[in-house]
Structure 1
Amino acid sequence: MSSVAATTTGTPDLDIIGCEQEPIRIPGSIQPQGALLVLDPVSQVVMQAAIGDRSALADDRGAIGRPIKDVLTPGAAAVVQDLDAKVPPAGSVSLGALRTGATLHHLVAHRSGGMLILELERASETEPRSFDEVYPHVRDFLDDLQHANSIEDVASLAAREVRRITGLDRTMVYQFDEAWNGTVIAEDRNDRLPSYLDLRFPASDIPAQARELYRLNRLRLIADATYTPVPIEPVLNPKTGAPVDLSHSILRSVSPVHLEYMRNMGTMASMSISLLRDGQLWGLISCHNRDATQVGYHIRTACDFIGQVVSMQIAAKESAALAQKRSALQTVQSRLLAQMAAAGNFVTGLLAGTDDLLALTGAAGAAIVSGDTCTLVGETPSEGEVSGIVDWLAQGDRRDIVVSDSLAGDMPGAERIKDQASGLLAISISQLHDSYLLWFRPEVIRTISWGGDPRKRAELDPQGLRLHPRKSFESWQETVRLKSRPWEAAEVEAATALRTAIVDIVLRNAEERAELTERLVSINKELEAFSYSVSHDLRAPFRHIVGYAQLLKKYEGDRLTERGDRYIDTIVESAISAGTLVDDLLSYSQMGRASLRPIRIDMNMLVDEVKRALLGEEEGRTDWTIAKLPSVMGDATMLRLVWQNLLENALKFSRERDEPTIEIGATDDGNQVTYFVRDNGTGFDMAYVGKLFGVFQRLHRVEEFEGTGIGLANVKRIVERHGGQAWAEGTLNGGATFFFALPKEVEVE
């Protein structure tokens, strides 16, 4: 862990900025337990050098500017021969051990910036001379690992084995979360250092650039937190003009702030082993020792091997857990899909399995918002509060899926609904409308134990020249509120897959509706043509029936009996009624075929003309109230028929009243005008209002009131062709009001 302390808010401050900008890849120095030589790969001449341990060299004449074969002891000739061919393009390689007098050094080489980096690390006489000496410990670890059932088991075994191999005082396995805070999930130690098990450390303890170095170089050792760095000379490479990048160096010097951090923690030596998953940093095996100590090269190699095995085990167990979770959720999803397919409408299908709907994401409540409807399932905010969430989702960048385990931190005012919706998982189910499927989780109050107060910040020294890290690592507890249980990756994937299925169903239904609409349009056109042809052709025969029946009565009436005379009258009345019906049918079919010819219409004048045509000169006993009516654009002939049908109905159904009244008025909302005709006649039952505007639909017997049942159908068709709508309100024996709304402007067809 590095030198930096974090604030719980994550706001960039002095300590974070300072460490993020520190050039830790090019520190310009090494740790003193060895020597580092920078070689030209072609000439093998030493271009730069940092000599911490002079016993690594053949003599005291220095190394810079000399061929490497002359710098090292004669026994190294075979090691450095064809050195460029021995070093791989990436990663480091061990070149064996080199003895110089009484000292032994491990030789390790890698490439950096077009140069060869040769490192000589001093070995102790007691450390293993080969990996074979350490392998029995590794083999035991591998045997025990077969019985590990969980990541926690794997971590505990790794902590135990690494401490057994290294002999260090404390070994911890440290896991990062999505915000790069780290939690100690396993620990093995003696009593020389305190326990940090289950404690959390802030993300800024290991800044981003340090995490990247952990990813590139899996193992790092600091043998003595009080060491004096050995500078690399010259600072810039004479050939490249740049400082040497030590990302893969085993002797790389570390930040002085981090060394102070170690001393504040009471650890004089540390070693870190990176745990990777899919090439990304998952966590660390972090080792500490109270006293300065050197961990042997082959021991570190064994620890590196353990780290790689643990990384693979973690990846395998996380993948297995994720696959198991996915499989369970796929079963739930299959049931939901079957229900949606059976229902035809996805909302109906989802509501048929509300338990599955919640189980798909592990939510406590859900809401389906489609068009103007909002359906709630389980523990949810109110409809109004859900509408507020939808408005917030619609106002932001439109995304197919939104995931939050802290809605109060993302949406203003959401703290009011924390008990139902501290967590939100929302999927958009329409590209055109604000339609969503939302899942909710309640607040889960948690207590987090930190390794020191994360609010403590690094401080500048009195001279303002350098940062000093925090000094306390005692357990500090924080209560976390306004957050739900986090949404798991498998749950988010399941929600995304459900969204795809819903969108597919909606699109398929839309395509089916479009195809059906196209067929209906074609059928309607055929029916209109048929009705027009039939009604047109039937007009003449009915007129002939009426005419000849009347002639028969006129010229042969004297010979007819009373019964025959009555039969003739019935034939005439029936033929006239049938002819009227045919005329109405012809008019109805023409309404769908004729083109609109919109003009500016004075509605008061039009109503007055229709009224006079119906009543003649004698207005009768009906009491008329006609308000000033706004003018609109429309087809005068068609709208005349609308008024004629409505006024005829008002007169017909109010004529039996002692004091019949008819009121005509309108309202103007700026975009459209709504006209109405109100009477105090027989009215109708609102339970049957849906039948009023249908063809041949009558709410009264033909014996009571004459008519063909087509007039109101004509009204509806004409109004809709003008882009408006027609409706009615009434009570049985309490009168009726018929409305039709027209836009002020009508487009010419």
Structure 2
Amino acid sequence: MSSWNLKQNALDLNSCAREPIRTPGAIQPYGLILVLDPSTLTVKECAVARADVIETLGDPLGQSIDTLLGGALASCRPALESLATGATQFLGAHPVGGHGGHHTLAHRLADDLIVELEAPVPGEPGSLEDLYPAIRAFMGEIERVPGTRELCELAAVQIRQLTGFDRTLVYQFDKEWNGAVVAEDGNGVLPSYLDLRFPESDIPAQARELYRQNRVRLIADSDYHPVPLVRTADTAAAPPTDLSPAMLRSVSPVHLQYMRNMGTGASMSVSLLREGELWGLISCHNEAPKRVPYHVRTACEFIGQILSLQISLKERAAVVEERIARRAIQVRLLGRMAGDQDFMAALGRDQQNLLALTQSAGAAIVHRGQCILHGDCPRQEQVMQLVQWLTVQQHEGDLICTDRLPLEWDAADAFADVASGVLAISISQIHDSFVLWFRPEVVRTVRWGGDPRKEDTGLPLSPRTSFEGWKETVRRQSLPWNEVDRDAAMELRTAIVDIVLRKAEEMAALNEQLLRSNKELEAFSYSVSHDLRAPFRHIVGYSELLWAAAGERLNDSEKRYLDTIVESAQSAGTLVDDLLSFSQMGRSTMGQISMDMTALVQDVRHKLDMEYAGRSITWVVPNLPRVQADPGMLRLVWQNLLSNAIKFTRDTAHPAIEVGHYRTDTEHVFFVQDNGCGFDMRYVDKLFGVFQRLHHSDEYEGTGIGLANVNRIITRHGGRTWAEGQLGVGAKFFFTIPFVTGDKV
């Protein structure tokens, strides 16, 4: 039964979650769809919006691709015959009965070949080339954006400029598939939805799956009249045709009513994916009906793909950095525990790191009837009651975690102010022994786009009519525990069991923890290599194949596009390689030996000769002391610092680079000074962070990882890094190596 047989005045809110939205049996009235038999390329089903097309060119049903529509698609036969299952191909623009060049796409499914011809929009761009400056400007801007939210804000502005919608917003899903508007750009015609939340039922599971498969979706008029699909007699009993890949596919009447309730006459969405899963949507709304041309939608899809990659990269890098920081805390805790038979006392002597391990305000260690409290906690008797409650709860594994304890256990309401959230690990199979971390209640106001609660009226539910901000005050909840918090707690549990309770050999247990950390980082490296490096290489490889195959037939603009694609993919590949190097630096083994720092600096400098070939640089490299350090890591430090000095003196008339050293009471201090472009000291704190750059890549190449590597290497040696600079005068970078017995000047 077609979804269009549902009565408009009795729409069920949950019907959208059950409707056959992939097989609506109709299309939007902006062109025509032909369903062909893949073996014969004859039309077995069609939907034609304009009746005069059939009057002029005849009924397409039963016609061959060579004759239908007056032979307009005859030249497409070779492309259609070679189209692989699951593929979509743009076939160009083809005239349909004097109504202009229709943008034509073919979609190959298992049993059907769908050809959709979308009518042109008056005044539309002639090609994607007309929109390339806007795309290039966006790609340049994202290099200067520090975080995910700023990326989304930039994309919202760019998409609205391209499409002309009244309002464009970026919508992010949470773990329960509720959505939150994290960025918005509008002209004031439609109300702002920024920071509003929308319940999961607004976009049900099957709709989210379609968003994941189809990156762009357009509904040009919420009051359109659908055009039904018509079949030949011999296919009348066949199952409904799957139109899910088609842009002209008709949509659920429930969704159209939702749009009308929202006051929008047109909408468009661009899907944002992270590692193949739906992260969110760029959602565009217009008060009046609005069609978006094919080439503009293609540009928006490209921007959405770029944004998806950037979100994935930034979020993954942030998680990896946080895991590395937590492991550093864990190593310090293990160092105390490994040398003490009483692990409770050992943990208690390092309260700061115990709390920092899970970003908590309080912690309790319960073992053999004893209870030791650290930080902001419930009273001892309350903690013991909590432990008794935890032991009888059904849970998987040795970890229990909740951010709403008072809502799950009434007795916790008495201490919700300090322990609305609890993360607990069981550390014994025999005794009621736990390590517990607490987070306080965080009273916060959540603004929903309309009241998300459902009232039982006894009548069929219809799409909600109010989207005014509805405030809900959330109490008796803490900040949520994330995966990094849970993993850090479980790793500590493993350490306690292995090192203390089972009295394993100290070094063997510590190595086991380090091996576990290495395996996880290796899994991360593999994931990045598999998910990001290979696609970039494919882009370069296929671009080069395209150049070789069609180079003589390409015009100058097309050659420039290919060059830009290769250059961008190579740049992105370099960024991924640098990120992998950065993640691996923290787990590589250090082999410290007495090394000649002067010889190392001179060797690195000579290997960088090609970087300043043709330039005259004044070098000052004095005799430097021997130090105890890992030579491979220190080589990378000098290589980064000297290479930066060479790069940032590129535009200096008389470049000079000085390497220097002095001693304090506890450490060697080395520095590299140049008279290059320098930097503003207001941003000095950003220098040693991942992806933090103070110069645009058009001026000075780089990925923003080199100084982060320097900082990590020196930190692992027990030293420090810092910098001084002045714009237009130069920069001076310092690092230290602590003294060891026998160090000499």
* Shorter-chain TM-score range: 0.5 to 0.7
1:547-568 CA-to-partner distances (Å, cap 9, x unmatched) read xxxxxxxxxxxxxxxxxxxxxx
Tell me if the contact between 2:14 and 2:201 (Cα under 8 Å) persists in the aligned partners: no
Which residue identity is paired with 1:414? A
1:403 aligns with 2:401: yes
Q: How far is 1:149 from its partner?
A: 0.6
The 1:28–1:158 alpha-carbon spacing in structure 2 relative to 1, beyond 3 Å, is: same
Tell me if the contact between 1:57 and 1:73 (Cα under 8 Å) persists in the aligned partners: no
1:531-554 CA-to-partner distances (Å, cap 9, x unmatched) read xxxxxxxxxxxxxxxxxxxxxxxx
Q: Distance in 1 between matches of 2:340 and 2:457?
A: 65
Which residue identity is paired with 2:122? E
Tell me if the contact between 1:404 and 1:423 (Cα under 8 Å) persists in the aligned partners: yes
Which residue identity is paired with 2:447? S
TM-score, normalization by structure 2: 0.63
2:92 matched to which residue of 1?
96
Which residue identity is paired with 1:49? C
1:355 aligns with 2:349: no
| Corresponding residue SS for 1:135 | helix
Tell me if the contact between 2:167 and 2:286 (Cα under 8 Å) persists in the aligned partners: yes
Q: How far is 1:121 from its partner?
A: 0.8
| Corresponding residue SS for 1:499 | helix
Q: How far is 1:78 from its partner?
A: 0.9
1:61-83 CA-to-partner distances (Å, cap 9, x unmatched) read 32222222222332321113351
Q: How far is 1:16 from its partner?
A: 5.3
Tell me if the contact between 2:498 and 2:504 (Cα under 8 Å) persists in the aligned partners: no
1:234 matched to which residue of 2?
231
The 1:371–1:423 alpha-carbon spacing in structure 2 relative to 1, beyond 3 Å, is: same
2:211 matched to which residue of 1?
214
Tell me if the contact between 2:44 and 2:232 (Cα under 8 Å) persists in the aligned partners: no
Q: Distance in 2 between matches of 1:146 and 1:460?
A: 54
1:452 aligns with 2:450: yes
Q: How far is 1:97 from its partner?
A: 0.8
1:194 aligns with 2:188: no
Q: Distance in 1 between matches of 2:457 and 2:282?
A: 28
State which of 459, 481, 485 in structure 2 corresponds to 1:487: 481
1:583-628 CA-to-partner distances (Å, cap 9, x unmatched) read xxxxxxxxxxxxxxxxxxxxxxxxxxxxxxxxxxxxxxxxxxxxxx
Equivalence map 1:340-419=2 (5 Å): 340-395=337-392, 396-419=394-417
The 1:17–1:294 alpha-carbon spacing in structure 2 relative to 1, beyond 3 Å, is: closer
Q: How far is 1:258 from its partner?
A: 1.0
Provide the aligned C-alpha RMSD in A.
2.4
The 1:332–1:120 alpha-carbon spacing in structure 2 relative to 1, beyond 3 Å, is: same
State which of 21, 24, 32 in structure 1 corresponds to 2:21: 24
2:433 matched to which residue of 1?
435
1:246-265 CA-to-partner distances (Å, cap 9, x unmatched) read 22221111111111111111
1:171 matched to which residue of 2?
168
2:118 matched to which residue of 1?
121
| Corresponding residue SS for 1:468 | coil
1:423 matched to which residue of 2?
421
The 1:400–1:261 alpha-carbon spacing in structure 2 relative to 1, beyond 3 Å, is: same
Q: How far is 1:58 from its partner?
A: 9.1
Q: Distance in 2 between matches of 1:233 and 1:371?
A: 76
1:18-59 CA-to-partner distances (Å, cap 9, x unmatched) read 332122122121111111111111111212212224566694
The 1:498–1:56 alpha-carbon spacing in structure 2 relative to 1, beyond 3 Å, is: farther
| Corresponding residue SS for 2:188 | coil
| Corresponding residue SS for 2:231 | coil
Q: Which one has the largest radius of gyration?
A: 1
Task: Indicate the larger mover: 427-436 or 319-328.
Answer: 427-436
1:451-497 CA-to-partner distances (Å, cap 9, x unmatched) read 12222569897xx6xx5311111111110011001123222221122
1:515 matched to which residue of 2?
none
Q: Distance in 2 between matches of 1:259 and 1:16?
A: 12
2:75 matched to which residue of 1?
78
Tell me if the contact between 1:235 and 1:243 (Cα under 8 Å) persists in the aligned partners: no
Q: Distance in 2 between matches of 1:479 and 1:55?
A: 58
State which of 30, 39, 44 in structure 2 corresponds to 1:42: 39
| Corresponding residue SS for 2:464 | coil
Tell me if the contact between 1:91 and 1:248 (Cα under 8 Å) persists in the aligned partners: no
Q: Distance in 1 between matches of 2:437 and 2:447?
A: 30
1:555 matched to which residue of 2?
none
Tell me if the contact between 2:62 and 2:232 (Cα under 8 Å) persists in the aligned partners: no
Task: Indicate the larger mover: 221-230 or 39-48.
Answer: 39-48
Q: How far is 1:235 from its partner?
A: 10
2:181 matched to which residue of 1?
184
Q: How far is 1:267 from its partner?
A: 0.8
Q: How far is 1:510 from its partner?
A: 6.6
Q: How far is 1:135 from its partner?
A: 1.1
1:204 matched to which residue of 2?
201
1:704 matched to which residue of 2?
none
State which of 61, 83, 100 in structure 2 corresponds to 1:64: 61
Name the count of aligned residue pairs. Answer: 495
Unaligned runs of 5+ in 2: 4-10, 507-745
| Corresponding residue SS for 2:395 | coil
Tell me if the contact between 1:58 and 1:72 (Cα under 8 Å) persists in the aligned partners: no
Q: How far is 1:368 from its partner?
A: 1.3
The 1:508–1:448 alpha-carbon spacing in structure 2 relative to 1, beyond 3 Å, is: same
The 1:182–1:73 alpha-carbon spacing in structure 2 relative to 1, beyond 3 Å, is: same
| Corresponding residue SS for 1:259 | helix
Tell me if the contact between 2:58 and 2:69 (Cα under 8 Å) persists in the aligned partners: no
1:289 aligns with 2:283: no
Q: How far is 1:223 from its partner?
A: 0.5
The 1:55–1:373 alpha-carbon spacing in structure 2 relative to 1, beyond 3 Å, is: farther
| Corresponding residue SS for 2:479 | coil
Which residue identity is paired with 2:216? L
1:477 matched to which residue of 2?
471
Q: How far is 1:442 from its partner?
A: 0.9
The 1:349–1:59 alpha-carbon spacing in structure 2 relative to 1, beyond 3 Å, is: farther
1:353-410 CA-to-partner distances (Å, cap 9, x unmatched) read 1111001111111111223222221111222322232223222235222221111233
Which residue identity is paired with 1:486? P
Tell me if the contact between 1:56 and 1:120 (Cα under 8 Å) persists in the aligned partners: no
Q: Distance in 2 between matches of 1:499 and 1:410?
A: 24
Tell me if the contact between 1:261 and 1:469 (Cα under 8 Å) persists in the aligned partners: yes
Percent identity, aligned pairs only, is 51
2:269 matched to which residue of 1?
272
The 1:426–1:244 alpha-carbon spacing in structure 2 relative to 1, beyond 3 Å, is: same
| Corresponding residue SS for 1:164 | helix
Which residue identity is paired with 2:488? A
Q: How far is 1:302 from its partner?
A: 0.5
The 1:326–1:94 alpha-carbon spacing in structure 2 relative to 1, beyond 3 Å, is: same
The 1:398–1:270 alpha-carbon spacing in structure 2 relative to 1, beyond 3 Å, is: closer
Tell me if the contact between 1:131 and 1:299 (Cα under 8 Å) persists in the aligned partners: yes
Task: Indicate the larger mover: 426-435 or 40-49.
Answer: 426-435
Tell me if the contact between 1:429 and 1:503 (Cα under 8 Å) persists in the aligned partners: yes
TM-score, normalization by structure 1: 0.63
Q: Distance in 2 between matches of 1:459 and 1:121?
A: 43
The 1:63–1:433 alpha-carbon spacing in structure 2 relative to 1, beyond 3 Å, is: farther
Q: How far is 1:340 from its partner?
A: 0.7
| Corresponding residue SS for 1:426 | strand
Tell me if the contact between 2:358 and 2:489 (Cα under 8 Å) persists in the aligned partners: yes
Equivalence map 1:467-616=2 (5 Å): 468-506=462-500, 508-509=502-503
1:168-213 CA-to-partner distances (Å, cap 9, x unmatched) read 1110011111221111111111021111111111121111111111
Deviating 4+ runs (over 6 angstroms) = 55-58, 458-461
Q: Distance in 2 between matches of 1:291 and 1:197?
A: 21
